[in-house]
């Protein structure tokens, strides 16, 4: 259903990538719990391994359940193709892997999930890559940070933890001028609230663990390829434009066109990095996506109600929810996230670090977990957990200072959530 744009989002989230099983007629996508697939004959096997024919070889590379999920996410994002993998962090490495080489760098937003900041500031150094962190509200600074060795620009559509919204149109204009891809993490927004490709993104990454699955059961990641970037326009991306020795000199950009990045992600990324999504995780995520729009509407409705209540509470210094009229990002919501500003934001609690810890420990409905995007409401004190590895300066730049807690608003009754916050704040700020 990737070629049927006339279908609405609610229809595509149920049907894209899902067809009755040809062998049994099963209507739900089966869990193909198998490691390997029987070839028709030796010629068939050779054609598959030469990338001359599309099919299933080995489940580290391709699996029918995972393929259905890839098609569904690509369709919802408006992309040409997608590659699913084992986690959101794996998706980030998968996105960068074909673009980077020793000595190359990325320009990344300073407002990112703490684990991403650590991955980009520490771990990728082991590959000889580096990252420059910039305030993406300062578009001149983003442009100035790009140099001859920059191979990508990376940001989040709705930033974790603060819920800040990135002006993707402005950033994509900068990357287009520089001739490099824009990678957008759309985890916090989902394609229901934001479609980064429509704002110029080259690649979209997801932690499918979060809102796409929505039930806190499995981890997963996905890289969506817009199919719109010309990888052969210059010599910056030889993995995609130059002959590939492992496939007898095949050129991915020349051979696969708009699907060059997708095929590279499977044929080389999954083959050699092995960050494979298991079929049961794909199945859970497929089921979760079936109700994505319904859940996101409720998430947004509850987040707006609770953010307004918190903004008027004297025990709270400020609320970062972009949906509030007081937010400096309110003007971007209609353009970037027309269906709502998501359900992730932070609050600054009077009383600082100790009050935040007491608040977290006093809640009854909110769960204290290192996750977001669940149907359940979640809370975490980022400075002591997800952003603990960062310096105090990095924590503050990321919106995760010691007086900050992050809220991921679920789909429960908003009145119950407010009552829970009220009693916990009374204990925390006394």
Distance CA 157, CA 183 (A): 10
Per residue in 269-308, pLDDT (tens digit) is: 999 999 999 999 999 999 999 999 999 999 999 999 999 9
Q: What is the pLDDT of residue 1?
A: 43
Q: Cα torsion for 84, 86, 92, 93, to the nearest 10°?
A: -110
Q: What is the pLDDT of residue 382?
A: 82
Give the H or E element holding residue 141: helix 139-145
CA–CA distances in Å: residue 336 to residues 104, 304, 374: 30, 17, 22
In the chain, what's the furthest Cα-to-Cα distance? 75
Q: Cα torsion for 397, 398, 401, 404, to the nearest 10°?
A: 140
Per residue in 154-166, pLDDT (tens digit) is: 999 999 989 999 9
How far from each other are the two terminal CA atoms of the chain, in whole angstroms? 56
Complete DSSP assignment for 186-199? -TTTHHHH--GGGG
Q: Note the helical H segments in 150-267.
A: 168-178, 190-193, 238-241, 252-256, 260-264
- Which residue's entry shows tokens 């580096």? 130
pTM reported for the whole predicted model: 0.95
User: Domain 292-428 falls in which CATH fold?
Assistant: 3.90.1150
Tell me the two tokens of residue 399: 């919106």
Distance CA 2, CA 56 (A): 20
Residue stretches of the chain with pLDDT short of 50: 1-2
Domain boundaries, the chain: 9-99+181-288, 292-428
Distance CA 403, CA 353 (A): 5
Q: Is-contact 335 177, C-beta < 8 A? A: no
Long-range contacts for 202-205 (Cβ within 8 Å, ≥24 apart)? 202/175, 202/226, 202/228, 202/229, 203/95, 203/261, 204/77, 204/79, 205/88, 205/91, 205/92, 205/95
Q: For domain 9-99+181-288, say whether CATH 3.40.640.10 is its number.
A: yes
Distance CA 369, CA 410 (A): 13
Q: What is the pLDDT of residue 384?
A: 80
Per residue in 72-85, pLDDT (tens digit) is: 999 999 999 999 99
Q: What is the pLDDT of residue 2?
A: 46
Distance CA 294, CA 279 (A): 25
Q: What is the pLDDT of residue 388?
A: 74
Residue 392: CB atoms within 10 Å: 10
Residue 168: CB atoms within 10 Å: 25
Task: Give Cα 351 to chain centroid, integer Å.
Answer: 33
What's the whole-number average pLDDT of the chain? 95
Q: Cα torsion for 328, 331, 332, 336, to the nearest 10°?
A: 150
Per residue in 36-74, pLDDT (tens digit) is: 999 999 999 999 999 999 999 999 999 999 999 999 999
Looking at the DSSP assignment, which residues form a beta bridge with residue 345? 407
Q: Are strands 150-156 and 182-185 parallel, antiparallel or unpaired?
A: parallel
Q: What is the pLDDT of residue 5?
A: 57
The DSSP call for residue 148 is: T
CA–CA distances in Å: residue 10 to residues 294, 297, 402: 9, 12, 40
Are 9-99+181-288 and 292-428 the same fold in CATH?
Answer: no
Distance CA 334, CA 235 (A): 38
């Amino acid at each position: 259903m990737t070629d049927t744009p006339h279908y609405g989002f609610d229809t595509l989230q149920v049907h894209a990538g899902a067809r009755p099983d040809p062998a049994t007629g099963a209507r739900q996508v089966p869990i193909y719990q198998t490691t390997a697939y029987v070839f028709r004959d030796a010629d068939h096997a050779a054609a598959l391994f030469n990338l001359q024919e599309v099919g299933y070889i080995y489940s580290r590379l391709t699996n029918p359940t995972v393929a259905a999920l890839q098609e569904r996410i690509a369709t919802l994002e408006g992309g040409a193709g997608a590659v699913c993998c084992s986690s959101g962090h794996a998706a980030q490495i998968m996105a960068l892997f074909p673009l980077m080489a020793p000595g190359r760098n990325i320009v990344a937003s300073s407002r990112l999930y703490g684990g991403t900041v650590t991955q980009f500031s520490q771990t990728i150094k082991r590959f000889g890559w580096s990252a420059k962190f910039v305030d993406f509200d300062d578009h001149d600074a983003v442009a100035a940070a790009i140099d001859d060795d920059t191979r990508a620009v990376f940001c989040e559509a709705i930033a974790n933890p603060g819920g800040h919204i990135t002006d993707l149109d402005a950033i994509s204009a900068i990357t287009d001028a520089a001739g490099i891809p824009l990678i957008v993490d759309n985890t916090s927004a989902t394609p229901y609230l934001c479609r980064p490709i429509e704002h110029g993104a080259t690649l979209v990454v997801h932690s499918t663990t979060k809102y796409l699955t929505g039930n806190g059961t499995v981890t997963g990641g996905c890289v969506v390829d817009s199919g719109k970037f010309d990888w052969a326009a210059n010599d910056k991306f030889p993995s995609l434009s130059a002959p590939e020795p492992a496939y007898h000199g095949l050129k991915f950009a020349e051979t696969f066109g708009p699907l060059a990045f997708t095929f590279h992600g499977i044929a080389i990324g999954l083959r050699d990095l092995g960050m494979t999504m298991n079929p049961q995780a794909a199945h859970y995520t497929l089921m979760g996506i079936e109700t994505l729009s319904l859940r996101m509407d409720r998430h947004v409705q509850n987040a707006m109600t609770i953010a307004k209540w918190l903004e008027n509470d004297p025990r709270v210094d400020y609320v970062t929810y972009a949906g509030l009229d007081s937010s400096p990002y309110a003007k971007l919501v209609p353009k970037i996230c027309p269906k709502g500003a998501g359900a992730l934001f932070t609050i600054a609690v009077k009383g600082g670090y100790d009050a935040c810890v007491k608040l977290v420990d006093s809640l009854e409905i909110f769960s204290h977990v290192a996750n977001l995007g669940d149907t359940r409401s979640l809370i975490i004190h980022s400075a002591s957990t997800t952003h603990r590895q960062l310096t105090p300066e990095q924590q503050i730049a990321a919106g995760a200072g010691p007086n900050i807690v992050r809220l991921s608003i679920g789909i429960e009754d908003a009145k119950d959530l407010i009552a829970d916050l009220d009693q916990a704040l009374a204990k925390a700020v006394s």
